[in-house]
Structure 1
């Protein structure tokens, strides 16, 4: 149901089971799942009409199962472009640095990777949610006040159908500048990852063949992303260079200038949208505060390089829907909702770490650094198991808020009521802060603000092991090897043979042959010489 007037009993508004603030893909999916469970849901969206232009563009096989569970699987398939080949990164010379197999179906039974245009996906999800008899949607209705009470929350709204709304729980799915989050006292951890990229969505007039269909150009002169934008669409993303301003990059002239080398002109292509985005990496420490809960971008934001931004938000919706259903029905204690943060936050921090690690590979502007990266990744045979940097594990600890950035560039800050501003940037544009340097893991209570130091050629195995701060008690090493050289400065065996300790069986890579140069790397990324 859409645009229903507020229901009241006497002078008090009816208490809905759940009020969802924000009606994008996350709010729509949550409303759909709760509506299918018979819950009384009201969705409050500040904008009167759906946003008509592309934004999110990718979901994986797990999210396909989410749509299937919501009863919209076939409708979603009709508006998606599944990937039938691989996802590739290439250097400036066109050589593959990484090749990731995206062909076929994933373990969930859906295609491994799927691209779409967000307005088309939202139309499917919104229509399905509004078909639920217990779901009402009010567009053009902005929430401007929240007052938590013992048994419910009173929301004040303005605009279409403005007035008071009461709900037993309120879910803030209202995006990065969340109003709901601004009323909570939870802190936001910002990893200081800021890159400006021009995103250009296009409608090609021709039927050009794109092979591979989705890839990254890791050229220090202009890092570029080329991917599907859904059926009949293509997306280009261009990293802003230091000498360029955001203002000059967001012009139509700049978009056409950057598209021209790719054979895209006004004669054969229509630009559907062009906008400059600042990619960021941050998350909220506590996603639930009493009867207020956060989901999607209101709780976390990440760079797009792993394609997990919207996916993570939809996983939030699934995790939250069944827990709210049990709590509202009295079959579970409200404390069950605390597991929503502990389960989803750890997962999303891993996704953020993975996205940052990929970004640190792609967003390289220094030619010498890019050459070293290319040499390392091509030596690994473009195999993602060995070519990609290790992903730091997530932190499950909650830090106290601080106004000062750490040495690694992280800033943790408490959000205060009525403050809608995100935390101040901790590092300048195009920071090269290592994702591991801003992670907060400790094995023995070590100072968590101490930056992680990547392996260097002068590191000794003993010193590297001493600085290893993996969350696991015994790091699980992996072997990375190249063909024999005269000497290897980081190999404990001088580049002459693999370790003779008999421990190669615990390595995730195939055992190296004698004569290969071996470097052992723990799960935290420290070079430990030989397996611990």
Structure 2
């Protein structure tokens, strides 16, 4: 484990406030680029109890790219299904999730957050570029022309309480939750959809490890007591019960109430451990801007949403993936600060989709009016008989503006803004998913060597920004230095999209495609112009 002499260690490139999954992912991604990162966390010890319990394939891909690919199977289990039932036990909706996905990871995974945080923090602490400063709370900050001076106060041991230190950084990223200190210093407005309910959240460890839970993830749409019953990661279960009219938060949040609510599942203090019981208020709100000068927000500091789409922590990890490559290019002088404006633009599009989806699902689930619930059931049962997908009407998660390729009409080109596919490849003797075999960063993925299409100066620029020029070939045609398409999905994707090449960003979104070999130089040139500040702010 690497530690610094912190006496002279108070100058950083970036300070991250908050050491949850979003803050640690942000720090690791920046630290991997060689930037000096300080992570301030007011709690002296990691939070030991579960909070988020689900991540999707895209987030698994990001976590694997920061070096956690080997531990994800240990701390998570694939979410094979998600079933909605009404008060009579009839199935209203049944979603089956694939073991593999567009990103090469299970479509959805159920996990234990403390275990993930432990793996992230261990990884961050092992990096020579990252300092994790636990027991220090940000209490003041002053921004000037060249950076931010942040005052931190010791919260750890009583004898040190009140001790303070000044830390300096070029940028401060607030990953410090719903009551964000960093956001409080930014003067940004919030949009609140006014959708909020109190729910009791119970985390339970059943003593019978062999008990089969079917379905694995269940949503009970019962107007008498809407409830959620899902995996909490390997060996754990989570129940969530909506607070009903006439119930106080205090009576709902008692251990004896928890056990009473668990009785229908044959769980009691003799055969299960109640790890946590806590009443949460689910909200739907976001900050209208996530950056002001050198202060930037990510995760719950920027947005809160109901849990019904499982996108709360996922959205925060996406924030980190979107922000860090841009911040790296700005810090290294390879892109102007205006590139950071695309962070709010791109992420708020996605975020609005995630919040609208979670509120849409929440309105269906939280219905307490029996007549309206009966109408909902009739409608959903009819949809199910007609094999209608109730989520099909929701917009796809595609970036429509920001740092993506535009055509002459000013609109994003066909493949631009889509999440890039990831398959298995073999490279220099290693067979793995593309990210793990080839490495992170920009990639121009083509079925023929793109180098001869580019002039020497462009090839040199590609090397400078870390844009790898990747040729993928069929496995039976691969030489020792080729990237062999082991499962055929990489070349299959190019073929299916009608593209000769795809230019993929470090956060795994497609910048744009080239329909023919002749279009490749123009695609690379457009990325170069956009990163240098040319037309970066054009409307999407």
TM-score, with length taken from structure 2: 0.70
User: Which protein has the bigger helix share?
Assistant: 2
Residue deviations 1:250-307, cap 9 Å, x none? 0101101100111111111110001000000000001000000000000000000000
Pairing partner for 1:68 from 64, 68, 92: 64
Shift of 1:185: 1.1
Establish whether residue 59 from structure 1 lines up as the match of residue 55 from structure 2.
yes
- Equivalenced residues, count: 392
Q: Residue in 1 aligned with 2:519?
A: none
Pairing partner for 1:268 from 258, 271, 282: 271
Q: Residue in 2 aligned with 1:19?
A: 15
Given that 1:203 and 1:269 are in contact with CA atoms closer than 8 Å, whether structure 2 keeps it comes out as yes
Residue deviations 1:402-429, cap 9 Å, x none? xxxxxxxxxxxxxxxxxxxxxxxxxxxx
For residues 51 and 232 of structure 1, the distance between their equivalents in structure 2, rounded to whole angstroms, comes to 19
Q: Residue in 1 aligned with 2:153?
A: 158
Shift of 1:374: 0.2
Q: Residue in 2 aligned with 1:403?
A: none
Q: Quickly say closer, same or farther: Cα 1:277–1:389, change in 2 above 3 A.
A: farther
Report 1:284-363 matches (<5 A). 284-363=287-366
For residues 382 and 27 of structure 1, the distance between their equivalents in structure 2, rounded to whole angstroms, comes to 45
Q: Residue in 2 aligned with 1:34?
A: 30
Establish whether residue 143 from structure 1 lines up as the match of residue 138 from structure 2.
yes
Q: Quickly say closer, same or farther: Cα 1:96–1:318, change in 2 above 3 A.
A: same
Pairing partner for 1:106 from 94, 101, 124: 101
* Secondary structure of 1:43 counterpart: strand
Shift of 1:243: 1.2
Given that 2:2 and 2:127 are in contact with CA atoms closer than 8 Å, whether structure 1 keeps it comes out as no
Q: Residue in 1 aligned with 2:449?
A: none
* Secondary structure of 2:85 counterpart: strand
Q: Residue in 2 aligned with 1:46?
A: 42
For residues 322 and 385 of structure 1, the distance between their equivalents in structure 2, rounded to whole angstroms, comes to 39
Structure 1 vs Structure 2 CA RMSD = 2.0
Residue deviations 1:332-358, cap 9 Å, x none? 001100100000011001100000000
Unpaired segments ≥5 residues, structure 1: 398-532
Residue deviations 1:7-61, cap 9 Å, x none? 54xxxx7531100000000001111111111110000000100001010110000
Unpaired segments ≥5 residues, structure 2: 157-162, 402-540
Pairing partner for 2:250 from 232, 247, 260: 247
For residues 97 and 396 of structure 2, the distance between their equivalents in structure 1, rounded to whole angstroms, comes to 24
Given that 1:378 and 1:387 are in contact with CA atoms closer than 8 Å, whether structure 2 keeps it comes out as no
Residue deviations 1:91-134, cap 9 Å, x none? 11111111112132111000011111111110011111111100
Residue deviations 1:437-489, cap 9 Å, x none? xxxxxxxxxxxxxxxxxxxxxxxxxxxxxxxxxxxxxxxxxxxxxxxxxxxxx
Shift of 1:83: 2.1
For residues 196 and 167 of structure 2, the distance between their equivalents in structure 1, rounded to whole angstroms, comes to 38
For residues 162 and 51 of structure 1, the distance between their equivalents in structure 2, rounded to whole angstroms, comes to 23
Establish whether residue 225 from structure 1 lines up as the match of residue 228 from structure 2.
yes
Q: Quickly say closer, same or farther: Cα 1:2–1:366, change in 2 above 3 A.
A: farther
Report 1:79-478 matches (<5 A). 79-84=75-80, 86-159=81-154, 162-206=164-208, 207-381=210-384, 385-388=388-391, 390-391=393-394
Shift of 1:385: 4.5
Greater Cα offset, 164-173 or 254-263: 254-263
Given that 1:357 and 1:389 are in contact with CA atoms closer than 8 Å, whether structure 2 keeps it comes out as no
Q: Quickly say closer, same or farther: Cα 1:277–1:365, change in 2 above 3 A.
A: same
* Secondary structure of 2:70 counterpart: helix
For residues 223 and 52 of structure 2, the distance between their equivalents in structure 1, rounded to whole angstroms, comes to 25
